[in-house]
Amino acid sequence: MTENDRTLPPEALDDWAAVLRERFALAEDDLPIALILDLARDVANGVARPAAPFSAFVAGLVAGRAGGSPGDVRAVVAAITELALAHRADPGS
């Protein structure tokens, strides 16, 4: 498998999200694709690329512990994004 084989076009990501929703009985609002991709972008740019999937995992873990509602997810993503942007702005990082 080459790197290009692993890069999903946007419609393939939608297809993958549908598979995950079906398998785990999730609602469409449970998988905010754009929100998570934006989080990954901000963390990758503000911290480091490997921090992006790790931060997405942490966002899911913390949001789940907070109750797991779409609002919980948005709040945790906003907090992590804020930390990533501050990290990038901090000359000591």
> Which residue matches tokens 């490997």?
50
Instruction: Give the residue-averaged pLDDT of 3-30.
Output: 83
Identify the residue with better confidence: 4 or 19: 19
Residue among 21, 23, 55 nearest 38 (CA): 55
Local confidence band at 90 (pLDDT 50, 70, 90 cut-offs): confident
pLDDT at 1 over 60: no
The pTM (predicted TM-score) of the whole model is: 0.81
Identify the residue with better confidence: 2 or 60: 60
Kindly report the backbone phi and psi dihedral angles of residue 46, in degrees, each rounded to the nearest multiple of 5, phi listed first.
-90, -25
Residue among 37, 69, 75 nearest 56 (CA): 37
